[in-house]
Amino acid sequence: CVCVCVWVRERERERAQPPTVNMLRVVKPKTKRGLRELEKRAPKLTENGKKVLLLHGTTTSVIIKGVLSDLYSLRKAGENAIKYTKKNANIRPFESGGESYLEYLSRRTDCSLFVFGSHSKKRPHNLVIGRMYDHHVYDLIEVGVEQFEPMVTFGGAKKYSPQEGSKPCLVFIGEGFEQDDQLKHLKEILIDVLRGEVVEAINLAGLDKVFLCVAVGKKVYFKHCAIRLKKSGTKVPRIELIEAGPSMDLIIRRNRLPNEELRKEAMKTAWKSSKHKVKNVSRDSLAGKVGRIYMPRQEVNGMALAKMKGLKRRRQEASSDPGASKKARDNHNEEV
């Protein structure tokens, strides 16, 4: 009986341990689809959009579940968010060794952002938001949630839900976002989590939501409003804001900044070679690439050209005509 108890305890310890390196081994793709997926995740000069991974801890409250559900609703357009509802006892982002399973999930799902929700007596209604670099934890910030109001309470969860391809407006109000280091860190992470895909041009109709963050001391008031464009009698429409939720108060607890060497490594950009200007080549909206070629004067009088059958027929008709010129009859006789 004692041996059985010891064996059961050892099995429980093995299950509780984070995955080993063998789980992260690179497998050669066997299909074209697998090869395409690996090419999508490979490093590029212009990286893909950042996806968010939403995770639950061992114990979560109703408030944390609502926050994660609303964040998933705001980011799920275009498959920019992945949500796992399974409890994860192996994830402790601020502890050494507690981020191994988190990094494994990041590599598996190709997510560079994560939001981890948990609840305990020491840290109630807790959210840990972080960024990844090369599928390793880059930086972390921990906030507590208070006065949470989900999207359902505003009665417009589906009506005001963001459309695929739309862009949000991000508004940060308060001197703390420029002076306090923790609030600066929170601002950087919230911008990465909420901004979505980076584009060069924005259509006015694509701005359908605004995220408002107001800093008062160490507390940040977060609200989400829908943007509606109304007629104003001029070219510039009248803007109306409708609170759509979620709405919550965030209290900063802990944060972990990356070291200077890791920051420099993550901020490196690939060297772009300047394109050599091609002369006499332009772009047209209809024809595409248009080029201009300069040719020297061509002497076409002495060129041997192929004699067409139509010309031969005319010469035969001219020779048979008694009123034809002598030159036309001579040309016909030479050809015969």
pLDDT in 10s for each residue of the chain, 336 residues: 545 455 556 655 555 554 444 444 566 888 988 888 888 877 777 777 889 999 999 999 999 999 999 999 888 887 889 999 999 988 999 998 888 999 999 989 989 999 999 999 999 999 999 999 988 999 999 999 999 999 888 876 566 666 777 888 999 999 999 999 999 999 999 999 998 777 778 888 788 889 999 999 889 999 999 888 888 888 888 888 888 889 999 999 999 999 888 888 888 877 766 677 778 888 887 768 888 888 888 887 777 777 666 666 666 666 666 555 555 555 555 554
State both tokens at 46.
């212009």
Task: Domain of residue 128: give its range.
Answer: 48-266
Decide if 33 is inside a domain. no
State both tokens at 104.
């494994």
Contact, 250 vs 220, CB < 8 A? Answer: yes
Decide if 69 is inside a domain. yes
Decide if 179 is inside a domain. yes
Residue 172 phi/psi, 5-degree rounding, is -120, 120
Decide if 332 is inside a domain. no
Q: What is the CATH number of the domain that holds 204?
A: 3.40.50.10480
Q: DSSP code of 24? A: G
Decide if 285 is inside a domain. no
* Residue 109: exposure state from Cβ atoms within 10 A (0-12, 13-18, ≥19): middle
Strands (E), the chain: 52-56, 81-87, 113-118, 126-133, 136-149, 167-173, 207-216, 219-230, 238-256, 281-284, 288-291
Decide if 121 is inside a domain. yes
Rounded Cα distance, 145 and 125, in Å:
6
Find where tokens 């160490």 sit.
218
Decide if 303 is inside a domain. no
Decide if 11 is inside a domain. no
Give how many domains the chain has, as a whole number. 1
Q: Rounded to two decimals, what is the model's pTM? A: 0.71
Rounded Cα distance, 20 and 22, in Å:
5
**Cis, peptide link before residue 246, omega less than 30° from 0:** yes
CA angle 92–96–102, rounded 5-degree value: 45
